[in-house]
A and B are shown apart, each in its own frame.
Chain A
Amino acid sequence: MDAKMTSKTKTKRSTTLIRLLKFVIGTYKAPFILSVVAIIVSAAAAVEGSLFLQRLIDDYIVPLTKQQTPDFTPLLRAILVMGGIYLIGVIGTLIFTQTMAILGQRLQKKIRDDMFTHMQSLPIIYFDQNDYGDIMSRYTNDVDTLMQMISQSIPQFLNSTFMLVFVISGMISLSPILTLVTLVIFLLSIGIVRALTTRSSHYFKEQQKQLGRVNGYVEEMLNGLKVVKVFSHEPAVKKDFDQYNDVYQYDSAKANAYATMLFPIMGNIGNVLYVLIAIFGGIVAINGWSTLSLGAIAAFLQLSRSFSQPISQISQQLNSIVLALAGAERIFQLQDSPVEVDDGQVTIVPASDGTGNNWNWQVPQDDGTVKQVPVRGRIVFDHVNFGYLPGQTVLHDINVTVEPGEKVALVGQTGAGKTTISSMLNRFYEINSGTITYDGIDIRNIRKDDLRHSMSIVLQATNLFSTSIRENIRYGRLTATDEAVEQAAELAHADEFITDLSQGYETKIDGDGSDLSQGQRQLLAIARANIADTPLMILDEATSSIDTRTERLVQAGMDNLMKGRTTFVIAHRLSTIANSDLILVIDHGHIIEQGNHDQLIAKHGEYYQLYTGKKSLS
């Protein structure tokens, strides 16, 4: 089972890697190839530099010491040539580091933009199913580690690999016997590296797990700190914390110890290698078992210096590549999520026929002509069933007819399905069976953007954006004039608090900050919906955080606004919906009662119980 799992994740990783490379190379072919060439040049120049030592000693210094009047011109020439080679190497490094810096950033921007653009067309269900912190970390953490990998890990990995290949071939060209010694050490060091990295990564995983626990505990206790204080529970909490803290310490110490030991151990293995080469090379040379020149030994010593470094580099970079691939998988997963279905042909256009209604549906006919249907706001649910997940039913056989301009109230316990019903209207979700028609047109035949342009929604959780108050209201209709914005705010009774602010409508607000009270935010959301001026409105607990006095004022404005519009209202306070044309009592996804206030009171059923406080809504 375990082996199967790992091989599965391995193939998944390699497909991710291939896809990623295809994407990188496909998008930036020329710079990528340029970088690889530059990497090879730079690695070759570095190794050539070490080999130069052998020629310097054997071909120049030793002969020169034997000359009566030493001629330094050939040496100068050789050093200049070497300088040239070094310079080419430096230029190679310069080219690949610079290209990778630029390429990495371009890719990063492209991946982010692609991801965000794709995300905008994902259905709401995607956002329901994915934690928002999780989505966010794809834009930052995952993209960052991915870029780190593309602009640093992969080049360094390639560089070290080429380096190692060149070093080994250089060594073989100098002395096969010494190379053999080196390779034995090489195997030994690989064993040590592996042992250390498996240990450290085991403890790092444990450390992450324990950190998660510390984090969870701290988060819970600090968010409830006021309760802790009220109950004088500090000593118990401190004791618990120490336990988490101590376990974390154990893993953290071990993880860091094994990880940081890698470097001194590898470095000193380099020293051991260095010494062994000197002793072994010395024995071989002095005994004349092989034609090993002094220069060759010196060069070999120099090469051995650049031997252990690529090995630890390779193992380290491999780790970060694996880490980054996990991030890449998450990015691809978002990009592969299916987008919202939209086969609608019907569009909405401003009406200019002078009949008094503002908008028309343009319904394409089979014969190629376009029929104009006035937008009036008649909504019919016909045997609608729905579930968020396959095989699950949340709404059962919903049948409702709403005439144009009616106010419809949805009443029921939390989780009964009120918001779900309203979310069917703008096709945030697709119904499983049945039909919903809008002025006689199946909403699935209406283009989604146009369908949504025909309605505005005020939700209980008010989402505003970090910009001025004016722009937040204007979000409802981008072409609205400043006067229109202020009128909409007045209607929502938001202008009072807005004009109290020192910057008025230009006050910058924090999208999810606490600079405005929840009630004030709701007033802004109502103003935003006002300005959209749509034939249909959905108010989902739109006034839940507004205190009784203000709500009373807002209510008058809202009633005004609802005139002539079909409105769906979900409210906690039954007082605000008693004047509805139609009240739907929802329970466990069924409509159990419908009618107006007087009818339902007379019925002495569920609504009556709720209204008289015999039953609670939460």
Chain B
Amino acid sequence: MISTLMRSIRQYRKLSILAPVLVTVEVAIETFIPFIMGNIIDKGLMKSNLDYTIHYGLLLLLMAIASLICGAGASWTAAHAGAGFATNLRHDLFYHIQEFSFANIDRFSGSSLVTRLTTDITNVQNAYQMIIRIAVRAPMMLIFSIIMAFNVSSQLASIFAILIPILTVILVVILHFGRPLFRKVFKRYDNLNRVVRENVRGIRVVKTYVRENEEINKFKTSSKGIADVFTKAQRIMSLNGPAMQLVINSSLLLLSWFGAKMIVGGTFQTGQLVSMYSYSNSILFSINILAMIFTQLSISQASGDRIVEVLNEQSTITNPNQPIEDVTDGSIEFQDVNYNFADSSHPILNHINLKINSGEVIGIIGETGSSKSTLVQLIPRLYDATHGKVLVAGHNVRHYDLKALRDNVAMVLQDSVLFSGTIAENLRWGNAEATDDQVIRAAKIAQADGFINEFDQGYDTYIEQGGNNVSGGQQQRLTIARALLKNPKILILDDSTSAVDTNTEQHIRQGLREDLPETTKIIISQRIVSIQDADQIIVMDHGQIQDIGTHDDLVKRNQMYREIYEYQQKAGDEN
């Protein structure tokens, strides 16, 4: 994990080295201060030597200022190194995600990727900042202070040989019992979140069935679940404070008793005792901070793992060597194609054989789950066939340059996603260089020009994130127009007119036929009326082509097709 993450340090390597260096200098100076202070007391104050006092006093002042500058500098460099590293990491992660194929995307939910790019990276950033500064500072402080303490009096310093292990054991025990409880608390929080979320989302159901009291009981059970474990966890963790106090105080008393005896015996001096007090504090606090760092880092580790998981995800679809740049026509062929998800042997598509001539209109119908969408998504290589070949214009799709292939195979997905920006900007996703006339022409074919002109701002109307300010039918027409601007050889509409009324839909189909006669058009629909004039209609059932034929053929010979047709006929025109 660490080496993968470290690749993102790059230009912040210098800052990342400077911070621990500065911190080490700071600590070195800082630990020297009590030593000189002891000397000032013993040689200056005790002996009423004013010169010595002022001389070394000024030295101390300089040292304190130097240590301040180093300390502040370390913070500054560590913060900048951390933020820089995080920015690189976010950059790397985002770029990596952009290379994902649909199969990769399906493995991670959008919201989980967002969390990784924000919260998780922030956690790693904090950890990194900690590693190059505090995680250097605390052990350095510990080591320097121990050295200095032994330097002042190895006899007295032997007290630490007893106290350090005791404190370490106490902290380890606290962490050992406390940390698993915290992990448990997080799980119980998930549970509480779920109860609230389902309640708030389903509040109409709750109120309809008058289940408020049952919901309250459910909630109280889960809030009690948190309180029980959390109380235990908090109580254990808050033993840390008094335990530290106990050890530090014991150390002070021991130092006082033995120190006093040594001073009286003439082998030790008062100023040295005062400096020992300082070292005692530094040593014991450093151990506490080490324990804290340990806890913090183990929290960030989970975040690091989640980031690396995405970084290590290899894109299943990459550009071939020496790719074909030109798609010469809109013919398509499936040769014994199978598709199954990576972790399953159960085929989603089963032995698909299909030939489509350039310029044909193809209809696809079938129940939800019959893999209609998967079938067409193999054409622009959004997924790769597990077995068999998909050919476009006579070449295997795997041999094309990805951009060239996808520019020529325009796909309107089932979910009509628009982006925040004006209508014109959204449409130009299809072709950034399109002239206004081209944009309007595409909108006209998609029957979108009419309603766009009804907006006050026309083509400059701003689409909000998620496209909530245009209706479902309007969104669908905009996404069709966007795809048309690519001027594709193959156009695929995946149930993209479900929210458009039949009349308008008919105009769209007519426009496509007249304005894009050369383009192969594949239309997936639930409504037979949308596809009945297609050159070939494919009936999909459980991942297989159950039948292919014209509308008239299918009504005559295919029972499933006929049933759907009759039901929809009886129902009148849908919508």
In the complex with contacts A231-B430, A285-B45, A132-B197 CB distance below 8 A: yes
Per DSSP, chain B at the interface is helix
Asked if A499 lies at the interface with its beta carbon under 8 angstroms from chain B, I say no
B78 touches A549 (CB 8 A): no
Interchain CA distance A572-B573 in the complex, whole Å: 12
A323 within 8 A of B: no
The CA-CA distance from A91 to B249 in the complex, in Å, is 12
Chain A nearest CB, measured from B536 CB (Å): 21
Q: Is residue B180 within 8 Å, beta carbon to beta carbon, of the partner chain?
A: no
**Contact yes or no, B26 A264, CB < 8 A:** yes
In the complex, whether A234 has a CB less than 8 A from a CB of chain B is yes
Q: How far is the CB of B73 from chain A (nearest CB, A)?
A: 9
Contact among A79, A120, A298, A455 for B208, CB-based, below 8 A: A455
**Binary per-residue interface labels of chain B (228-254) against chain A in the complex, 1 for a CB within 8 Å, 0 otherwise:** 001100110111011001100110110
Q: Is B64 a contact partner of A228 (Cβ separation < 8 A)?
A: no
Would B417 and A224 count as touching, CB distance under 8 A? Answer: yes
The answer to whether A226 and B382 touch (CB under 8 A), given A105-B230, A512-B201, is yes
The reply on A481 being an interface residue by CB < 8 A is: no
In angstroms, Cα B68 to Cα A267, docked, is 8
Contact across chains for A93 and B242 when beta carbons are under 8 A apart:
yes
B100 to A225, Cβ gap below 8 A? Answer: yes
Binds B, one of A214-222, A361-369, A393-401: A214-222
Instruction: Tell me if A32 counts as interface (CB < 8 A to partner B).
Output: no
Measured CA separation A616–B476 after assembly (Å)? 14
Complex Cα distance A245/B260, Å? 60
Q: With both chains docked as a complex, state the minimum distance between the C-beta of A525 and any C-beta of chain B, in angstroms.
A: 8
Interface presence of A283 (CB below 8 A): yes
Query: Hey, which chain B residues are within 8 Å of A86, CB to CB?
Result: 245-246, 249-250, 252-253
User: When the two chains form their complex, are residues A618 and B499 in contact, meaning their CB atoms are under 8 A apart?
Assistant: yes
Q: Cβ of A256 and Cβ of B568 under 8 Å apart?
A: no
Q: Taking the complex as formed, is A356 at the interface, i.e. its CB lies under 8 A from any CB of chain B?
A: no
B227 engages A61 (CB within 8 Å):
no
Q: Choose one: A79, A140, A261, A610; the contact of B75 (CB below 8 Å).
A: A261
Does the CB pair A246–B210 fall under 8 Å? no
The answer to whether A574 has its CB under 8 Å from any CB of chain B is yes
Given the known interface contacts A61-B270, A105-B231, A241-B94, the answer about A124 and B203 at a Cβ–Cβ threshold of 8 Å is yes
| Contact status B71-A265, CB under 8 Å | yes
Any chain A CB within 8 A of the CB of B161? no
Which residues from B are CB-within-8-Å of A345? none
Contact partner of B129 (CB less than 8 A), chosen from A52, A211, A256, A276, is A256
Quote the shortest CB–CB distance from A143 to chain B (angstroms): 10
Interface set, chain A 113-144, CB cutoff 8 A to B: 113, 116-117, 119-121, 124, 127, 132, 135-136, 139-140
Choose, from B145-153, B164-172, B188-196, the stretch at the interface: B188-196
Task: Give the residues from 228 to 277 in chain A that come closer than 8 angstroms, CB to CB, to chain B.
Answer: 228-234, 236-238, 241-242, 245-246, 248-249, 252-257, 259-261, 263-265, 267-269, 271-272, 274-276
A459–B202 CA distance with the chains assembled, in angstroms = 10
Cβ of B140 to closest chain A Cβ, rounded Å: 13
- A4 proximal to B (CB < 8 A): no
B281 with A512: CB separation less than 8 A = no
The answer to whether B87 touches A246 (Cβ under 8 A) is yes
Q: Is B210's CB under 8 angstroms from A449's CB?
A: yes
Chain B residues 377-411 with CB under 8 Å of chain A are 380, 382, 402-403, 406-407, 410-411
Question: Is there an interface contact between A268 and B40, defined as CB atoms closer than 8 Å?
Answer: no
B205 touches A61 (CB 8 A): no
The answer to whether B30 and A271 have CB atoms under 8 Å apart is yes
Q: How far is the CB of A425 from chain B (nearest CB, A)?
A: 11
A272 and B238 contact, CB distance less than 8 A: no
B215/A547 in contact, CB under 8 A = no
- With a cutoff of 8 Å between Cβ atoms, the chain B residues found around residue A615 in the complex are 501, 503
- Given A298-B270, A456-B208, check contact A216 B465 (CB 8 Å): yes
Q: Which residue of A lies closest to B47 (CB)?
A: A286
Q: Determine if B65 and A120 form an interchain contact, defined as CB atoms under 8 angstroms apart.
A: no
A60 CB within 8 Å of chain B: yes
Residue B369, interface by CB 8 Å: yes
CB–CB A613/B575 < 8 A: yes
User: In the complex, A215 Cα to B113 Cα: how many Å?
Assistant: 11
Known interface pairs A89-B245, A245-B90, A453-B210; A459-B75 also in contact (CB < 8 Å)? no
Asked if A588 is at the interface of the complex by the 8 Å CB criterion, the answer is: no
Decide: B204 and A428 in contact? CB cutoff 8 A: yes
A463 and B205 contacting across the interface, CB-CB below 8 Å: yes
A317 contacts the other chain (CB 8 A) = no
Asked whether A102 and B235 contact (CB < 8 A) given A65-B263, A256-B83, the answer is yes
Cβ of A530 to closest chain B Cβ, rounded Å: 13
Q: Is there contact, CB below 8 Å, between B86 and A249?
A: yes
Contact partner of B219 (CB less than 8 A), chosen from A113, A132, A617, is A113
The answer to whether B60 and A278 touch across the interface, beta carbons within 8 angstroms, is: yes
1/0 contact string of B55-83 vs chain A (CB within 8 Å): 00110110111011011101110111011
B118 contacts chain A at the CB level, 8 A cutoff: yes
Shortest beta-carbon distance from A495 to chain B in Å: 18
Given contacts A136-B193, A264-B72, whether A120 and B37 have CB atoms under 8 Å apart is no
* Residue of chain A at shortest CB distance from B205: A463
Asked whether, in the complex, the Cβ of B407 is within 8 Å of the Cβ of A232, the reply is yes
List the 4 closest A-B pairs by CB distance, nearest first.
Answer: A616-B501, A264-B71, A575-B571, A463-B202
Of the A-B pairs whose beta carbons lie under 8 Å apart in the complex, a sample of 9, sorted by A's number, is: A140-B189, A211-B118, A225-B110, A232-B402, A248-B87, A249-B87, A275-B57, A275-B64, A463-B205
Q: A232-B406, A271-B63 are in contact. List 14 more A-B contacts (CB 8 A).
A: A98-B235, A120-B199, A229-B406, A249-B83, A272-B65, A274-B64, A278-B40, A278-B41, A294-B45, A294-B46, A426-B208, A552-B567, A575-B572, A578-B571
